[in-house]
């Protein structure tokens, strides 16, 4: 049974010093190397459709490809301040209004100009981290093609490699041409991606990327899609979401079969890995890089955010609305006496356990087929 020190590298989930000690040490570098410790697996069993659910997903993926250059209207002018205005509502501080009123907040004296800049920087930062995460997904899915032993899974994973390349491309272009460039990768996200890629077991790649990272991305894209009024970003997010829903479903369908055969000890390892991923992603959304760029005392800001009441962190909690039900579908919540359930209670996200899992939900996100049907009618 691993301790929090062994899982997270710190004694407590909310240890302030442990969180801020994680930094991006090669931020000026353009190349980052991670040892891939996995075996490459050939299979000589070419029976297509032996796993019907995966075959169905593969057929759907072949028909759902889109072109970032021609299917999105890049002639649309984008004003970064107009993007964040609907998100901030009547108060320029928007979702950070409670921070503006906190007596110990280093941003309590911010005016409308500063809060608008926080909104612009937060949008740039958020889309930048999605871009970096999509490159992580690109590498992880290429690894899945190499390491998964089933031909139907290799076929589907190959389509996801193309999807992820397109996602990296589209976010990079939007940040470069429509916003003001991008942020380096967040240190907590980088640590998580390194762990996922370095693990030798193929199912850990699935769990870390398909269930945890992609699950969070799907929830975040849905949240942003509902709130944004910027037409190009809305169109972009709709197409990316249609891909991401299939990706998460791929993880659920594959791991459900595999996890049914694991021992209690093996499941406990997966629970601990899922918890580590959840905490790393929560820490990522402390957006330390934004506060630093705004000239804010980052340590004090992180301290306040860690102590914030749950009703002030709705966005951060909603990001787990896909992860928790999918972990439940895989049997991870209640294995080992409900260990992961208790940890999700600790970080305040267990309330999503009965929301829809993504095993079949991906059909509702099929933007490409919907658009083609509308064009033909």
Q: Are 307 and 349 spatial neighbours (Cβ–Cβ below 8 Å)?
A: no
What is the C-alpha to C-alpha distance for residues 137 and 205, in angstroms, rounded to an integer? 10
Residue 225 Cα to chain centre, angstroms? 15
Q: What is the mean pLDDT of residues 80-84?
A: 87
For 258, 332, 368, the CA distances from 217, given in Å and listed in that order, are 24, 20, 19
pLDDT at 377 over 80: no
What is the C-alpha to C-alpha distance for residues 110 and 8, in angstroms, rounded to an integer? 34
In tens, the pLDDT along 85-126 reads 777 766 777 788 888 889 999 999 999 899 999 999 999 999
Q: Are 163 and 217 spatial neighbours (Cβ–Cβ below 8 Å)?
A: no
Residue 149 Cα to chain centre, angstroms? 25
Q: Are 211 and 323 spatial neighbours (Cβ–Cβ below 8 Å)?
A: yes
In the chain, the largest separation of any two C-alpha atoms, in whole Å, equals: 66
Residue 34 Cα to chain centre, angstroms? 20
Give the residue with greater pLDDT, 138 vs 81: 138
What is the C-alpha to C-alpha distance for residues 317 and 268, in angstroms, rounded to an integer? 24
In tens, the pLDDT along 12-37 reads 999 999 999 999 888 878 999 999 99
What value does the mean pLDDT of the chain take? 92
Name the pLDDT band for 357 (thresholds 50, 70, 90). confident
What is the C-alpha to C-alpha distance for residues 196 and 296, in angstroms, rounded to an integer? 32
Residue 44 neighbours by CB under 8 Å, 6+ apart? none
Domain residue limits, the chain: 86-376
In tens, the pLDDT along 162-207 reads 999 999 999 999 999 999 889 999 999 999 999 999 999 999 999 9
What pLDDT does residue 16 have?
94
pTM above 0.85, yes or no: yes
pLDDT at 237 over 90: yes
How many CB atoms neighbour CB 181 within 10 A? 8
Q: Which fold has domain 86-376?
A: Ferritin (1.20.1260)
């Amino acid at each position: 049974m691993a301790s929090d020190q062994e899982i997270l590298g710190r004694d407590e989930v909310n240890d302030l010093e442990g969180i801020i000690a994680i930094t991006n040490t090669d931020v000026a570098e353009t190349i980052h190397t991670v040892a891939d410790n996995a075996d490459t697996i050939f299979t000589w069993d070419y029976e297509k459709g032996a796993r019907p659910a995966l075959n169905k997903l593969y057929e759907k993926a072949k028909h759902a490809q889109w072109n970032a250059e021609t299917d999105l209207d890049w002639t649309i002018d984008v004003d970064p301040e107009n993007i964040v205005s609907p998100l901030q509502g009547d108060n320029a501080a928007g979702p950070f209004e409670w921070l503006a009123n906190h007596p110990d907040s280093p941003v309590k004296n911010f005016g409308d100009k500063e809060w608008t800049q926080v909104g612009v920087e937060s949008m740039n930062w958020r889309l930048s981290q999605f871009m970096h995460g999509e490159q992580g997904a690109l590498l992880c899915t290429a690894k899945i093609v190499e390491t998964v032993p089933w031909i139907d899974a290799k076929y589907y994973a190959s389509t996801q490699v193309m999807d992820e390349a397109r996602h990296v491309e589209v976010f990079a272009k939007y940040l470069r041409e429509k916003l003001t460039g991008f942020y380096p990768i967040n240190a907590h996200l980088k640590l998580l991606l390194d762990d996922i890629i370095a693990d030798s077991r193929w199912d850990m790649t699935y769990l870390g990327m398909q269930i945890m990272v992609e699950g969070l991305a799907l929830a975040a894209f849905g949240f942003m899609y509902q709130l944004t009024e910027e037409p190009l970003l809305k169109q972009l997010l709709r197409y990316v979401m249609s891909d991401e829903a299939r990706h998460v479903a791929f993880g659920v369908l594959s791991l459900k079969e595999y996890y049914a055969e694991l021992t209690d000890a093996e499941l406990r390892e997966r629970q601990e890995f899922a918890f580590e991923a959840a905490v790393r992603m929560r820490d990522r959304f402390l957006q330390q890089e934004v506060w630093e760029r705004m000239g804010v005392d980052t340590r004090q800001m992180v301290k306040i955010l860690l102590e914030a009441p749950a009703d002030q962190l709705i966005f951060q909690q909603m990001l787990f609305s896909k992860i928790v039900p999918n972990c439940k579908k895989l049997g991870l919540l209640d294995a080992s006496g409900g260990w992961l359930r208790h940890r999700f209670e600790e970080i305040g996200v267990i309330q999503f356990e009965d929301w829809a899992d993504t095993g079949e939900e991906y059909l509702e996100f099929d933007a490409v087929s919907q658009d083609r049907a509308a064009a033909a009618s």
